[in-house]
Structure 1
Amino acid sequence: MAAVMFLVVTIVFLIVRVTPGDPAAIMLGPDASAADIAALRARLGLDAPLPLQYLVYVQQMLQGDLGESIFLGQPVLTAIWSRAEPTFFLTVFALAIACVIALPVGIISAYRRGSLFDQGITTLAMLAASIPGFWLSLMLMQLFSVRLGWFPVSGYGGPGASFGDRLYHLVLPAVALGVVSSALIIRFTRAAMLDVLGEDYVRTARSKGMSEFRVILRHALKNALIPIITVIGLTAAVLISGAVVTETVFGLPGIGNLVVSAVSRRDYPVIQGALLIIAGLYVLINFIIDMLYLIVDPRVRY
């Protein structure tokens, strides 16, 4: 985990620095003189050699300081934390929708392998995986917000909005993300169940007279959970980083929207801080998945 994060820190630092665009020139506008731009670059530390900037950045990061936003004028951690709530609940909501759709559908599809239901679900899963998230978001917005008026078009509620009202604003974005994400989970669930349904212990359980419901859930699903847990965990990580487009379409004040604004403004500290936090969540989720293997399957040993 430490090695991965060190590589992420280095790569993010270099990519952000070689991207065209000068934050000092963007901040001061097109009418700024070269002297004013040079003075601002010196104040921001952007005129120092790259190795020195890198050492200063790593030293600050090790102290828990991700720097200060050039445009927002506040610490990066504060800026990210203030935008974390919509992204967090959107991710949890979308993952719950994806699992509610994918797990039972994938299990039934594997149990009824080769049937019309199985073929239809496989086709729909391929179609859902191919749908662009922004297009589905716009279609849902057009149908349920503009025509039917059931859900708000955009936003996250006013400053005094209740928790229920904020979740109400997340329904359409969560459905858009959850439907697309469910396609991969359906395919993995189906494949994992097919691998275990033909095993000897499943046939033995059936020969003992156990009900099909108990055979599927207690014997087959339990032994197919490792790949299913893996894909669910990776889907959660992808949702955290992949909510940028959905948040932009629905006007949600989340981390994705913050990153888009930071990229357009060349706000280096915010870009670096957001990417590092997202990468850290990726690594943490993978670690949690590895630990869950021990709970799901006691035969796993490290």
Structure 2
Amino acid sequence: MLRYIIQRLIGMIVVMFLVVTIVFVIVRVTPGDPAAVMLGPEATQADIEGLRAKLGLDRSLPVQYGYYLLQLLRGDLGQSIFLGQPVAHALAERAEPTFFLTLFSILIASAIALPVGIYAAVKRGSFFDQTATALAMFAASIPSFWLGLLLMQVFAVRYGLFPVSGYGGPDTSFGERMMHLVLPSFALGIVSSALIMRFTRASMLDVLGDDYVRTARAKGLNGRRVVMKHAFKNALIPILTVIGLTAAVLISGAVVTETVFGLPGVGNLVVSAVMRRDYPVIQGALLVIAALYVLINFAIDMLYLAVDPRVRY
């Protein structure tokens, strides 16, 4: 077990090194000069060259890459060019709405997908199973931003039950800020539930046909106990995998939803940084998102031990 954890940690370091290299190269080979973008169209060539020298953009790529690696080893993600503050501080300020949006979306998706997927597997071939499968396919094809606009029009504009957009001011209470996340969370949760529901149904179907399930039923055990204690517990590993990967995708992919609802999250920050060619923010955000992917995968592997004692690393 300890050997496996050490191997995974080494693998995580290698993956992050590759991510750092790829992000550094991609950001710098894209067309455009950040110094010219910052100074505007009226800037002279001398002004642009002076700013490039100040930002270190006049050095060769290997030299910039070396400085960047040393900077990361010190735990410094750099200084935002436009915001004038450390990238880590800028990401921390935007982390709350993105974190809670992801958390609520996963909870909503799981609350919808798990019971529907389990019952659809138990009632395989029934009208409920066919309807649930069709609705899951329909939900998977709905763009989250379109669903968000629809929810906004109905529940915010027409009935006034929730805020239309934004995240409240500095003095807004925590409860009021969470109210701003209800509609975007449902928009992402409903779309994400489709994949989780289909995986739950498929995993349960694989388990329900096993011999030990038929034996438990033959012994006269309660049907609900057979499904939940015996079948669902053994079908949980692929379900945990897809839930974890969905959470990782939501962290990095909620950009459009955050933009539609005017949420000051990490996605909005990345979009602004790309438009302004703010290299440090782009690199820092991508590295943090990649690190979260790696950590979530590692956490899922550790959860396998908790849900299935037969797993050995």
Q: Which amino acid aligns with 1:117?
A: F
Question: What is the distance in 1 between the residues matched to 2:251 and 2:45?
Answer: 40
Q: Which of the numbers 52, 73, 76 marks the counterpart of 1:62?
A: 73
Are 1:232 and 2:240 matched, yes or no?
no
- The residue correspondences of 1:117-266 to structure 2 (distance < 5 A) are 117-266=128-277
Question: What is the distance in 1 between the residues matched to 2:42 and 2:176?
Answer: 44
Q: Which amino acid aligns with 1:129?
A: A
Q: Which amino acid aligns with 1:254?
A: G
Note the alpha carbon deviations across 1:225-278, whole angstroms, 9 max, x for none. 000000000011011001111100000011000000000000000000000000
Question: What is the distance in 2 between the residues matched to 1:24 and 1:138?
Answer: 36
Q: Which residue of 2 aligns with 1:90?
A: 101
Give the number of equivalent residue pairs. 302
Question: What is the distance in 1 between the residues matched to 2:60 and 2:235?
Answer: 53
Are 1:10 and 2:21 matched, yes or no?
yes
Question: What is the distance in 2 between the residues matched to 1:21 and 1:183?
Answer: 40
TM (normalized to structure 1)? 0.99
Question: What is the distance in 2 between the residues matched to 1:133 and 1:152?
Answer: 18
Q: Which residue of 2 aligns with 1:300?
A: 311
How far is 1:52 from its partner?
0.6
For the aligned residues, what is the CA RMSD? 0.6
Which consecutive segments of 4 or more residues in structure 1 shift more than 4 A? none
What are structure 1's unaligned runs of at least 5 residues? none
Note the alpha carbon deviations across 1:109-159, whole angstroms, 9 max, x for none. 100000111111111111111111111111111111111111111001121
Question: What is the distance in 1 between the residues matched to 2:119 and 2:130?
Answer: 12
Q: Which residue of 1 aligns with 2:4?
A: none
Which stretch has the larger CA shift, 157-166 or 233-242? Answer: 157-166
Q: Which amino acid aligns with 1:281?
A: L
What are structure 2's unaligned runs of at least 5 residues? 1-11
Question: What is the distance in 2 between the residues matched to 1:297 and 1:97?
Answer: 25
Question: What is the distance in 2 between the residues matched to 1:79 and 1:22?
Answer: 23
Query: How many percent identity over aligned positions?
Result: 75
